[in-house]
Amino acid sequence: MLICTLAGFYNITQIIAFNLPSKFIAEKNNAALRIMTWNVQDFVDLTAKTSTSQKMLQLIAAQNPNIICMQELTNVEGGKRRISIRQKMDSMGYKYYFFSMDEHITNKAGTSVITRGCAIFSKQPFIDSNRIFINRDELNVDEHLIYVDIHFNNQPLRIFTAHLASFALFKDTATLPNKDIYEITYNRKSTIQYKLRDVERIHSKEASIIRNEISQAKKPVIYCGDMNTVATSYTYHFLKGGLQDAFLEKGCGIGATFYKIIPTLRIDYVFADKHLKVEQCKVIKKKLSDHYPVVTDVTWK
* C-beta of residue 128 within 8 angstroms of C-beta of residue 148: yes
CATH number of the domain residue 247 falls in: 3.60.10.10
- pLDDT more than 90, % of the chain: 71
* C-beta of residue 265 within 8 angstroms of C-beta of residue 297: no
* Average pLDDT of the residues of the chain: 89
For 235, the 3-state DSSP assignment is helix
Q: Which pLDDT tens digit goes with each residue over 148-172?
A: 999 999 999 999 999 999 866 445 5
Q: Which pLDDT tens digit goes with each residue over 110-121?
A: 788 999 999 999
User: Is residue 280 in a domain?
Assistant: yes
Residue 210 has a pLDDT of 98
User: Is residue 296 in a domain?
Assistant: yes
User: Is residue 16 in a domain?
Assistant: no
User: Is residue 29 in a domain?
Assistant: no
Number of domains in the chain: 1
Q: Are strands 244-245 and 155-163 parallel, antiparallel or unpaired?
A: unpaired
Residue 8 has a pLDDT of 67
User: Is residue 106 in a domain?
Assistant: yes
User: Is residue 14 in a domain?
Assistant: no
State the burial class of residue 184 (Cβ atoms within 10 Å of its Cβ: 0-12, 13-18, 19+): middle
State the burial class of residue 301 (Cβ atoms within 10 Å of its Cβ: 0-12, 13-18, 19+): exposed
Whether the predicted pLDDT of 301 surpasses 80: yes
- Residue 47 lies in domain: 34-300
pLDDT band for 13, please (50, 70, 90 cuts).
confident
User: Is residue 197 in a domain?
Assistant: yes
Give, in order, the Cα–Cα distances in Å from 51 to each of 24, 56, 133: 27, 9, 33
pLDDT band for 89, please (50, 70, 90 cuts).
very high
User: Is residue 235 in a domain?
Assistant: yes
* C-beta of residue 103 within 8 angstroms of C-beta of residue 114: yes
Q: Which residue, among 275, 260, 250, 210, has the nearest Cα to 24 in the 3D structure?
A: 250
Q: Which pLDDT tens digit goes with each residue over 170-212?
A: 455 555 555 555 565 555 554 555 566 788 899 999 999 999 9
- pLDDT more than 70, % of the chain: 87
